[in-house]
Structure 1
């Protein structure tokens, strides 16, 4: 394995970024991980960890030195710095893979892709369906009991395992044939939020059920569950918009790119079963 950093991974301590780091290492690729707090990052041995903040484009320059490719994720709740970041990354790296976000009302998928295409010579754009990991928002409720309260319980989503997102990203970062490609990634089937809750129950061995709330109560529940205030109304508006449209298509892109079918939500729930279990009481 080449010890010189070749691929920079942003969001390296998040759900998807950790998987990208792990799968790159498994492929024998040298990895440099970007994080705002290197001292707190728990990443595998052999990863070079560097400090950087996407909200401050100039802070990225040291981490971009000597990098061939970049995996870029946009976890911020504002897109103000995005054009400058994309220009900077595209000017340093031969190849850029951007994981799109639907979390910003003023930074839609088309604009994200267009900025990427303008900034990078070689690029791949990943447009994901709903992350399966969004179900972790329900952890506080499920740890307390057998009911999950929220809005739009009937809303169907082709939820996507973070390992599958990472697998596509790693191939786009390390293989030819993905230049200027836009990939719509989904899980293998559509599940409503209420169905997702029941599947989590199956994975953890407890019968769980969904209770529907109106918007005002759902907003309070999301805030109580730890969703940032800046994102709560964006999320609820997104649910309402999705509910008013035909169901999103299910794609086979994960299998076409990686050679294996997308993982089911039950697989995801089993992988994360421990997250939903009540924490043991502190020893007295």
Structure 2
């Protein structure tokens, strides 16, 4: 049995499908099981990982845990401790490329939260693998309403560059680590990226091409306007500032591109163009 947190999220849904295809039992965590919409054969358990409830029953009989701290309110210590007590042997953690194993990890909100979880997992004595995702291609979903209604995406840095990683590739990496029987992936921190650097403006244009709308474009706004927009969407201000500063620092730089997806899964990382084609329905 493998417990999947964040099972109804973009990565979680893909991961659940892979684990089911491999023939392993899956226990998915959801605040609202009736609306989870997960495949038949998944044990969907009602739990709110942010409320301090007893987690023993959730983890009973599980051999591995996929941990996504987006589902734990950025505080994963209680769940990691509960996993250790419940006899879970392995944690695969959906971490962040912002973690660098240097003192800089304490400087940013996102890096600090993920680095703390990584330390807790290492200290637990359990087997572990970290999947340090970079810029998520799914971040572009935040533009859906702007694209539908206006065909204009407003953001702080049109030339901010990254190598957006497809959620399917992150799920492939996590599945490989969770299903590993040889120890190949134990103690590894995989930095996962897409196959090439793409600017924000280029991402928007790629979505336009997938939609058959060449008029879709990116329009630059100020740093403060971009922070305010993220706050309105529900992001804490400190996180919004960290993210937008990170984007600003990338302007004029070469995006970090790794071969982690290829090395672990045997297939090339999916491009942002492919991601846009896969998500056409989300922008219509």
**Shared topology, TM-score over 0.5?**
yes
Larger mean CA deviation between 249-258 and 55-64 belongs to 55-64
Cα distance, 1:24–1:98 mapped onto 2, change above 3 Å: same
Task: Kindly report which structure 2 residues correspond to 1:108-147, keeping only aligned pairs within 5 A, or say none.
Answer: 108-147=113-152
Deviations 1:189-224 (CA, angstroms, capped at 9, x unpaired): 111111100000011110211100002322343355
Does the Cα contact within 8 Å between 1:95 and 1:123 map onto a contact in 2?
yes
Q: CA deviation at 1:139?
A: 0.6
Shift of 1:234: 1.5
Q: Which runs of 4+ in 1 moved over 6 A?
A: none
Deviation at 1:8, TM superposition (A): 0.6
What does 1:101-180 correspond to in 2, within 5 Å?
Answer: 101=96, 104-105=109-110, 107-175=112-180, 176=182, 177-180=184-187
CA distance in 2, matches of 1:173, 1:131: 21
Task: Find 1:32's aligned residue among 27, 30, 41.
Answer: 27
Q: Corresponding residue for 2:194?
A: 187
Q: Shift in Å at residue 233 of structure 1?
A: 4.3
CA distance in 2, matches of 1:262, 1:241: 23
Describe the shift of the 1:171–1:106 C-alpha distance in structure 2 as closer, same or farther (beyond 3 A).
closer
**Residue 267 in 1 paired to residue 274 in 2?**
yes
Matched, 1:217 2:225: yes
**Residues 1:77 and 1:148: Cα distance change in structure 2 (over 3 Å):** farther
Normalising by structure 2, we get a TM-score of 0.88
Taking only aligned residues, the RMSD between alpha carbons, in angstroms, comes to 2.0
Say which of 76, 79, 88 aligns to 2:82. 88
Distance 1:187 1:90, change over 3 A: farther
Deviation of 1:38 after TM superposition, in Å, equals 1.3
| Equivalent pairs, count | 268
| Distance apart, 1:76 and its partner CA | 5.2
* In the alignment, structure 1 residue 14 sits paired with structure 2 residue 1: no
The answer for unaligned runs of 5 or more in structure 1 is 1-5, 278-284
- The Cα shift of 1:131 comes to 0.7
